[in-house]
Chains A and B, each alone.
Chain A
Amino acid sequence: MIWANAVVQGLLLGGLLALFATGLSLAFGVMRFVNLAHGDLAVLAAFLAVSVTGGLGVNPFWSLLVVVPAMAAVGYLLQRYAFNRTMGPDPLPSILVTFGLSVVIQNALLEGYSADSQGLDAGPIETASVELPGGIAVGWFPLLMAAVAAVVLVGLQLFLSRTRMGRAFRATSDDPSTARLMGIDDRRVYAAVMAVAFATVAMAGLFLGMRQTFGPSDGPAQLIFAFEAVVIGGIGSLWGTLLGGVVLGVSQTVGNQIDVEFNFLSGPLFGHLIFLAALAFRPTGLLGAGRRA
């Protein structure tokens, strides 16, 4: 029963991990762009929520309304005026710029908020839970996070496949110069994609902050989890990202349980090992369309 519980918790954690990975997956899918500051943006959003929540004296859920649009705007502007200038066949400039940004964010947070761990208090919902048959307790909060992640991913998928804008995104992803012939400004598409990526990772960051304490240097670990979810699921597929997040989530909770029972391995390490195994045996990912990372 302990193990069943670990799996259920892992499924729910998987939703949050998928939300973390969505922006990374989308940016790579549409524009082959890898943002190494992705995890730090989540942490930045969580810290901003601490300030908004403290400043206005409201529940952190309300800070979503401020932080998510703000981060989306930052993403749009960064892509438009900085990242777009690094795009091209050589991945080095974009990696350098986003890695530099990652280090700057971490240390700016360290200066601004000190190295102390912070948390976002979402109130009684954090501890409320419902009991499933078999004695497995499922928290309302993890359930809510998983539901939000599913809604965001399904919504994005529908947006891409059903709307005029989504069509333009896919066309740009296929062939940016022919997209230009259709009257699509690829640079603006990229900026819009980055805005969506920032918005989703900000949401994930806020949930992370309500779930656990966090510090200025937690970003890289989140980036790595997001990346693992993307690769396990298959590059360029949002459904794959959801599935990858779930596989990674279960790996981590089961790994933690192994640590508790046998004092061996740990959650993240077991997750890394599952990721490496996936890379070794299924390099195109579970739902990858044959495209390698």
Chain B
Amino acid sequence: MTALLDVRGLSAGYGDFQALFEVYMAVEEGETLAIIGANGAGKTTLLRTLAGLVPASSGTVRFAGADLLAVPAWKRVGHGISLVPEGRMLFPSLDVRENLLIGAHARRGGRWNLDRVIEVFPLLAPLLGRPSEVLSGGEKQAVAIGRALMANPRLMLLDEVSLGLAPLVVKQLYAALPEVVEAGTTVLVVEQDIGQAAAAADRLVCLLEGRVVLEGDPDCLTRGDIVAAYFGMKAET
């Protein structure tokens, strides 16, 4: 079986600053993969490169067999890749309903629509007419995830879901993930909270200074392995 997403030797960065160094990674259809790593490890850059917002300097990325790097950023959502960006990035001129609807601007066919998003995130129902600026952090994150789902992605990239949110809110948001996966979407989530990541994901990838240093099933990896990779120490033997 070929992977849905196949990343080979990917390097990328901002101007003279290189953030990713020859990253190799594969994501199988239907799995939930978590990318962990410290601040500055290159997690966000990896997602932004996959979404097309950061240009790759070398390497190849194949998505469902097609050369992804040749596709301009704005066409990638049509190919089935949606990014929930760090900081939510809702559109302040649009109200909540419009923020969700614009997610479907270039939608593929599929199960997700406004009603279904509200079923998964019932907290949004009374907020639809509100300006997006007045929402709380958790509400904003729910809109951002809903907005991405509206495009019916095959692969959803979730960046720093829990950043700045209360634990209870994070738990609510993660509770929606199984439904997303069940609807046929593969999920790639960037998370700083190792416990949360290990609980939600089928597989973990740890980045350190722009390189993949650890990969595996969270149930098979020891906490020591993960912590060591996270901080770049030698694992205790």
Direct contact of A and B (CB under 8 A): yes
B-binding residues in A (CB < 8 A)? 164, 167-168, 170-171, 173-175, 177-186
* Contact of B91 (CB < 8 Å), options: A178, A180, A183, A186: A178
A175 B91 Cβ-Cβ under 8 A: yes
Chain B residues with CB below 8 A from A170, complex form: 91, 93-94
Q: Of residues 76 to 135 in B, which have CB atoms within 8 Å of A's CB atoms? A: 77-78, 82-83, 85, 89, 91-94, 98, 101-103, 105-107
* Alpha-carbon distance between A175 and B147 when the two chains are bound, in angstroms: 15
Please encode chain B, from 49 to 78, with 1 for each CB lying within 8 Å of some chain A CB and 0 for all others. 001110000000000000000001111011
5 example contacts (A-B, Cβ-Cβ < 8 A) are as follows: A170-B93, A171-B93, A180-B52, A180-B73, A183-B151
A168-B102, A175-B89 known; A183-B94 Cβ under 8 A: no
Chain B residues with CB below 8 A from A171, complex form: 91, 93-94, 102
* Alpha-carbon distance between A184 and B102 when the two chains are bound, in angstroms: 9
* Alpha-carbon distance between A30 and B14 when the two chains are bound, in angstroms: 26
* Alpha-carbon distance between A164 and B75 when the two chains are bound, in angstroms: 18
With CB as the reference atom, state the residue of chain B lying closest to A188.
Answer: B74
B105 A182 Cβ-Cβ under 8 A: yes
* Alpha-carbon distance between A171 and B90 when the two chains are bound, in angstroms: 9
* Alpha-carbon distance between A203 and B98 when the two chains are bound, in angstroms: 32
In this complex, the member of A170, A171, A174, A183 whose beta carbon has the largest number of chain B beta carbons within 10 angstroms is A183
* Alpha-carbon distance between A171 and B91 when the two chains are bound, in angstroms: 6
With CB as the reference atom, state the residue of chain B lying closest to A186.
Answer: B74
With CB as the reference atom, state the residue of chain A lying closest to B108.
Answer: A183
Q: List the 4 closest pairs (A to B, CB-CB), nearest first.
A: A183-B106, A183-B77, A180-B74, A174-B91
* Contact of B102 (CB < 8 Å), options: A173, A177, A182, A186: A182
A167 B101 Cβ-Cβ under 8 A: yes
B93 A183 Cβ-Cβ under 8 A: no
Chain A residues with CB below 8 A from B85, complex form: 178, 181
With CB as the reference atom, state the residue of chain A lying closest to B150.
Answer: A182
CB of A25, distance to nearest CB on chain B (Å): 15
* Contact of B51 (CB < 8 Å), options: A167, A175, A181, A186: A181
